[in-house]
C-alpha cells in the first residue's frame, strides 16, 4: 500500500486503532520533552501515578520559560525539576542552554520518530522529519511511563511547494501565508505534510519555523521529508548517524492538496490580535514602531541571528525603537560570539536577551502602553506581551531588523540594504556541557520540594446529575492565555490554589470568586464559549485551575485539540452545541441542568441541557471514544490511571 510520510511514521508506532478509520489511535512515543512552565506539574503527576521509571528512548526536561528569577518560586521549581530528572533518568537542560524546541532540533531530533512535548510548539520537530506533537503535561507523563498517546486518526493535507524564496522573503512568510489560507480554526485532526520540489530549497531551520507555527493553525503537527538537506544538518551537528531517509511513496493519497509557489511570496505580518490576521508589509508601510523583539522558538536559529546581525552591522537602532535580540540556544549564542555578531548587535544599540522564551510569554521586555511591537515569535494574543493595550505584529527577522533601523514598517526590499547571504556552517559547535545526563545511583536522589510546590489536584467522579450555573459566557477564539495568564503569573504553576485566583484575569477578574462561592453552595460551574475554544498553549492549567474552581463542563461551538484533551484529563466535560444557534440563548448566571448527563456521557448519547431561565432544551454532543468516556466518568486521567 502506498503511504505518505505521516502514514509511514504513524503506522510504525501504531499500537491501537486504525489510521483510516477516523477514530482514536494509540501511538508509542519515542521521545518526550517538557519545559519548566508545564514540566513541574507533569513530573508531579508522573510521581502521583506511581510510575517508577522512564520507558521512552529519550526524555528531556528543559528550563527555558521562567528563567527570570523574581521571588523564590521559579528557582524552587527548577531545583525540583533537576532533582526529579536525576531520580528518574531524564536529561536535564539547565537554564541558559536555550529554548526547548531549538535545542531539541539541534541535539536530539531524529527523523522517523515520534516526539511528544508539554508545549504546543513541539511540532517544530517536524522540520527534521519527526511526528512531533504538543500535549498536556499529564499525557506526557503517561507517555514517559510507557503509556500510549491517544489522538484522532488524522486527515493528512499535502502542501506542495514549488519555486524558491526571493531575497528578503523568509520561512516566516511561508507559514504566515499558510495561516492566511487555513486560518486559525477548523483544522482539528489535520496533519500537514510538506512536499514538492520547493522543499529542497529550504534548510532544516527554515522547515522548523514553518512546522512551529502550524500550531497556530490548530493542526496536530506538520512534517517535512528527511532528505539530503536533513542529512547535511545532522552531519553539521555531529549526528549523521541519526539520519534516516524519509519520503512519501509515489501515488500516496492525501485528503487535500495545497499548492504554494515560494517565488510568489512577499514579506507579510500577522496583525493584532491573532496570528491569522495577515497583511502584506507593503500595506503597513510607514506605520511607526516602538519596539522590536527578535528570537523565540520560531525564529532564533543561527541563520536568523546572523542575518539580523549583518543587517544591523555598521548601523544604529532608531532612537524611538527598543530592540531586544534573544538567540534560541547557547549553541547559536556561542557561534555568534565567535563570529563577532554579538559585537555588531551591541554596536547597533540592540539589547542581548537570554536564550529563553521571556518576551514571547510576556515574562519580561513588555512594551510601553499602547506600543506597536514587531516580534518574530508565534503568538500575538491580546495582553500576552504583558501590556494589555499593546499592538503586537508577527514578522520575519528581516522585517523586524529593518524596522528597528527605520523606526517604522518598511518593506525590506525597498530599504536600500543589500540582502545578507548567510550559509549554515559545515560544523556547528556541539557543546553539551549544559545538559545534566543520568548517572549511576541517580535513583537515590532526594527530590527537592519548595514551599510553592503542591500536590496535583484531583477531581471527584463525574456527578450523576448536572445542576450548574453559567459562570461566564465568552466569544470565539478564546485562547489558553485568556483562560490562564502567562508571564509573571506562571511562577504559581506548581501551586494550583494560588494560580486559580487568576483564571480569566484579563477577561473577567471576578470569575474565580464567583466560582468558589458557587462551589461552596454545592453547584456545578459551567463555562459557555463560541468557536475554537482553547487556542494556543498546551498549558493544562487552563483546565486544571477551572477544575479546582468547580467547573464541571464547558459548552462550546467547537474546541481546539489539546485543550479538549486537557479538559477530559481533568474530568471536565467538553460539550459541543449540536445547534450553534443555541449559544446566543444563554446568559451568564443561567442555570443549566441535566438529570442523566453522566449516563449519557458514559453511553455516548447526546446530553440534553435545560435552561431553567428560558425553559429551552439544548442538545449537546459529547463525542468521545470509549476510553475517553471512562476517563471523564472517573473524574479525570489521574483517577482513571490509579483507580482512585
Choose the weakest-confidence range: 8-12, 19-23, 26-30, 255-259: 19-23
**Does 265 have pLDDT greater than 80?**
yes
Q: Which are the contacts of 302, defined by CB distance < 8 A and separation ≥ 6?
A: 205, 331, 332, 335, 336, 422, 424, 425, 428
Q: What is the pLDDT of residues 125-171, one digit of tens each?
A: 999 999 999 999 999 999 999 999 999 999 999 999 999 999 999 99
- Per-residue confidence at 241, pLDDT binned at 50, 70, 90? very high
Average pLDDT over residues 449-473: 93
**Does 69 have pLDDT greater than 80?**
no
Average pLDDT over residues 388-409: 97
Mean pLDDT of the chain: 95
CA–chain centroid gap for 76, Å, is: 24
How far apart CA 463 and CA 523 sit, in angstroms, is 11
* pLDDT of the residue at 301: 96
Q: What is the pLDDT of residues 423-442, one digit of tens each?
A: 899 999 999 999 999 999 99
Q: CA geometry: angle at 302 spanning 335 and 9, to 5°?
A: 125
Average pLDDT over residues 393-420: 97
Percent of the chain with pLDDT over 70: 100
Q: What is the pLDDT of residues 301-326, one digit of tens each?
A: 999 999 999 999 999 999 999 999 99
Q: Sign (positive/negative) of CA torsion 330, 334, 335, 339? A: positive
Q: Which of 46, 112, 39, 110 is nearest to 81 (CA)?
A: 39
- Per-residue confidence at 411, pLDDT binned at 50, 70, 90? very high
Domains of the chain: 5-264 (3.30.499.10), 268-414 (3.30.499.10), 466-642 (3.20.19.10)
- Per-residue confidence at 600, pLDDT binned at 50, 70, 90? very high
Average pLDDT over residues 261-287: 97
Percent of the chain with pLDDT over 90: 91
- Per-residue confidence at 22, pLDDT binned at 50, 70, 90? confident
Higher pLDDT pick, 123 / 490: 123
How far apart CA 11 and CA 2 sit, in angstroms, is 12
* pLDDT of the residue at 21: 73
Q: Which are the contacts of 408, defined by CB distance < 8 A and separation ≥ 6?
A: 285, 286, 287, 288, 289
Choose the weakest-confidence range: 102-116, 387-401, 426-440, 480-494: 480-494
Amino acid at each position: 500500500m502506498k503511504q505518505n510520510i505521516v502514514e509511514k511514521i504513524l503506522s510504525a508506532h501504531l499500537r491501537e486503532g486504525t489510521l483510516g478509520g477516523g477514530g482514536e489511535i494509540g501511538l508509542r512515543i519515542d521521545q518526550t520533552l517538557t519545559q519548566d512552565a508545564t514540566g513541574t506539574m507533569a513530573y508531579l503527576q508522573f510521581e502521583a501515578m506511581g510510575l517508577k521509571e522512564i520507558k521512552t528512548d529519550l526524555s528531556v526536561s528543559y528550563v527555558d520559560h521562567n528563567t527570570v528569577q523574581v521571588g523564590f518560586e521559579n528557582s524552587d521549581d527548577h531545583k525540583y525539576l533537576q532533582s526529579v530528572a536525576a531520580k528518574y533518568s531524564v536529561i536535564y537542560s539547565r537554564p541558559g542552554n536555550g529554548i526547548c524546541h531549538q535545542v531539541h532540533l539541534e541535539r536530539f531530533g531524529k527523523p522517523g520518530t515520534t516526539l511528544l512535548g508539554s508545549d504546543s510548539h513541539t511540532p517544530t520537530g517536524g522540520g527534521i522529519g519527526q511526528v512531533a506533537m504538543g500535549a498536556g503535561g499529564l499525557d506526557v507523563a503517561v507517555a514517559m511511563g510507557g503509556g500510549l498517546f491517544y489522538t484522532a486518526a488524522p486527515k493528512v493535507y499535502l502542501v506542495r511547494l514549488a519555486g524558491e524564496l526571493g531575497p528578503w522573503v523568509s520561512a516566516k512568510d511561508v507559514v504566515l501565508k499558510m495561516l492566511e489560507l487555513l486560518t486559525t480554526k477548523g483544522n482539528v485532526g489535520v496533519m500537514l505534510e510538506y512536499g514538492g520540489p520547493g522543499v529542497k530549497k529550504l534548510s532544516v531551520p527554515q522547515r522548523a519555523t514553518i512546522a512551529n507555527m502550524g500550531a497556530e493553525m490548530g493542526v496536530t503537527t506538520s512534517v517535512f521529508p528527511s532528505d539530503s538537506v536533513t542529512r547535511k544538518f545532522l552531519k553539521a551537528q555531529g549526528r549523521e548517524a541519526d539520519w534516516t531517509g524519509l519520503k512519501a511513496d509515489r501515488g500516496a493519497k492525501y485528503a487535500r492538496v495545497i499548492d504554494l509557489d515560494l517565488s510568489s511570496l512577499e514579506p507579510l505580518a500577522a496583525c493584532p490580535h491573532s496570528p491569522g490576521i495577515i497583511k502584506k508589509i507593503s500595506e503597513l508601510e510607514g506605520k511607526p514602531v516602538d519596539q522590536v523583539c527578535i528570537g523565540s522558538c520560531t525564529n532564533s536559529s543561527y541563520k536568523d541571528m546572523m542575518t539580523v546581525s549583518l543587517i544591523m552591522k555598521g548601523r544604529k537602532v532608531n532612537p524611538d525603537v527598543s530592540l531586544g535580540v534573544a538567540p534560541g540556544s547557547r549553541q547559536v549564542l556561542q557561534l555568534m560570539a565567535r563570529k563577532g555578531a554579538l559585537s555588531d548587535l551591541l554596536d547597533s544599540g540592540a539589547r542581548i536577551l537570554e536564550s529563553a522564551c521571556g518576551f514571547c510569554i510576556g515574562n519580561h521586555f513588555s512594551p510601553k502602553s499602547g506600543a506597536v511591537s514587531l516580534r518574530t515569535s508565534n503568538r500575538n494574543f491580546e495582553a500576552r506581551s504583558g501590556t494589555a493595550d499593546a499592538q503586537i505584529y508577527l514578522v520575519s527577522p528581516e522585517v523586524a531588523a529593518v524596522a528597528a533601523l527605520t523606526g517604522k514598517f518598511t518593506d525590506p526590499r525597498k530599504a536600500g540594504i543589500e540582502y545578507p547571504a548567510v550559509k549554515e556552517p559545515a560544523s556547528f559547535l556541539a557543546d553539551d556541557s549544559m545538559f545534566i545526563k543520568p548517572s549511576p545511583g541517580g535513583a537515590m536522589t532526594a527530590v527537592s520540594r519548595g514551599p510553592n510546590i503542591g500536590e496535583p489536584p484531583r477531581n471527584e467522579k463525574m456527578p450523576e446529575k448536572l445542576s450548574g450555573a453559567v459562570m461566564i459566557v465568552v466569544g470565539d477564539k478564546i485562547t489558553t492565555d485568556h483562560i490562564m495568564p502567562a508571564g509573571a503569573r506562571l511562577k504559581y504553576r506548581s501551586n494550583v490554589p494560588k494560580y486559580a485566583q487568576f483564571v480569566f484575569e484579563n477577561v473577567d477578574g471576578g470569575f474565580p470568586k464567583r466560582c468558589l462561592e458557587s462551589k461552596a453552595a454545592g453547584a456545578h460551574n459551567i463555562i459557555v464559549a463560541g468557536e475554537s475554544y482553547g487556542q494556543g498553549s498546551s498549558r493544562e492549567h487552563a483546565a486544571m485551575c477551572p477544575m479546582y474552581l468547580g467547573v464541571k463542563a464547558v459548552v462550546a461551538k467547537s474546541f481546539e485539540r489539546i485543550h479538549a484533551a486537557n479538559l477530559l484529563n481533568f474530568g471536565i466535560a467538553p460539550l459541543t452545541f449540536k445547534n450553534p444557534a443555541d449559544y446566543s440563548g444563554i446568559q451568564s448566571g443561567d442555570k443549566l441542568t441535566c438529570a442523566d448527563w453522566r449516563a449519557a456521557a458514559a453511553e455516548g448519547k447526546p446530553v440534553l441541557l435545560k435552561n431553567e431561565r428560558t425553559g429551552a432544551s439544548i442538545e449537546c454532543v459529547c463525542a468521545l471514544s470509549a476510553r475517553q468516556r471512562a476517563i471523564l466518568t472517573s473524574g479525570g486521567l489521574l483517577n482513571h490511571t490509579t483507580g482512585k
